[in-house]
């Protein structure tokens, strides 16, 4: 059954990795999806693949670091689809942009290039803020909407050698919590979703330890929880932190706490 028929979603950083996996999961449940990313071959290829399967998909070129581009992209989504029900804030860059060998040779924070630090924060934290800021007023005016912020394990946030990626995601989680409080009572909810472990994406170096790559989670693990958070089933849930690998037990615990039978 298509649980998201008639819904419109905007997924940033959706040309590959978990962004593309989440976009696909939403599309498979009947949603119309704006696939957002910086322009390039990956975006074109991903959108063409989705369209060839008959999905209703809109390619949107956008650099989340640029407020004007974000505003233009959001306007394009509303112009094309007429409305927006779900925002998935996922765009990000990883440690490879700062230190290609961050697993084998982690850099102490004082050796991290300033421009590298600024680029990661601008994308992973400021980018989340800019996109949510552009969308939230429209959702509030409508009285409904779901914003989902993608994050990572807290253990990884404070891992040695993970400046600036760790702090950027820690900041985005704090941002999500504050947003949820600011939007409480408006009909718009904000929740955080993370895989729960290292995930197979382009952020993992090709020469990373084989053990790490063998243990990495598939991007598709984000499918069931993103569909749930985008659907009516998550109505009223606000300010939660959902870990994909624990999604089933988290959902069961919530239903038991409310005295509802589990499906």
Calculated CA dihedral for residues 75, 220, 193, 247, nearest 10 degrees: 140
* Residue written as token pair 């063409």: 48
Give just the sign of the alpha carbon dihedral 212, 213, 214, 217. Answer: positive
Other Cβ atoms closer than 10 A to 80: 13
Q: Evaluate whether 23 touches 246 at the Cβ level (below 8 Å).
A: no
Instruction: Report the alpha-carbon angle 252-30-34, nearest 5.
Output: 105
Element (H, E) at 28: helix 17-28
Q: Evaluate whether 98 touches 116 at the Cβ level (below 8 Å).
A: yes
Q: Evaluate whether 165 touches 124 at the Cβ level (below 8 Å).
A: yes
Q: Which of the following is catalytic: 81, 102, 165, 228? A: 165
Mode of pairing for the β-strands spanning 57-61 and 86-89: unpaired
Active site residue 165: yes
Q: In a 3-state reduction of DSSP, which class is residue 88?
A: strand
Cis peptide before 164 (omega within 30 of 0): yes
φ, ψ of residue 141 to 5 degrees: the values are: -60, -35
Residue 39 token pair: 């322009």
Give the active site residues: 165
């Amino acid at each position: 059954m298509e649980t998201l028929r008639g819904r419109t979603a905007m997924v940033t950083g959706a040309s590959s990795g978990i962004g593309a996996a989440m976009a696909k999961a939403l599309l498979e449940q009947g949603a119309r999806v704006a696939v957002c990313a910086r322009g390039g071959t990956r975006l074109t290829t991903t959108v063409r693949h989705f369209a060839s399967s008959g999905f209703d998909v809109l390619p949107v070129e956008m650099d989340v670091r640029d407020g004007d581009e974000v505003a233009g992209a959001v306007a394009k989504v509303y112009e094309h689809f007429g409305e927006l029900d779900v925002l998935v804030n996922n765009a990000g860059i990883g440690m490879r942009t700062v230190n290609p060998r961050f697993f084998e040779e982690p850099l102490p924070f004082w050796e991290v290039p300033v421009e590298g630090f600024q680029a990661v924060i601008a994308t992973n934290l400021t980018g989340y803020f800019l996109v949510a800021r552009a969308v939230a007023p429209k959702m509030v005016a409508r009285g409904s909407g779901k914003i989902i912020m993608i994050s990572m394990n807290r253990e990884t946030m404070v891992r040695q050698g993970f400046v600036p990626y760790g702090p950027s995601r820690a900041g985005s989680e704090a941002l999500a919590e504050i947003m949820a409080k600011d939007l409480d009572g408006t009909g718009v909810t904000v929740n955080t979703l993370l895989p729960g472990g290292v995930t197979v994406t382009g952020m993992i170096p090709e020469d990373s330890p084989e053990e790490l790559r063998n243990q990495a989670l598939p991007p598709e693990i984000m499918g069931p929880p993103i569909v749930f958070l985008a659907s009516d089933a998550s109505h009223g849930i606000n300010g939660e932190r959902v870990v994909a690998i624990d999604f089933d037990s988290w959902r069961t615990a919530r239903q038991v706490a409310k005295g509802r039978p589990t499906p």
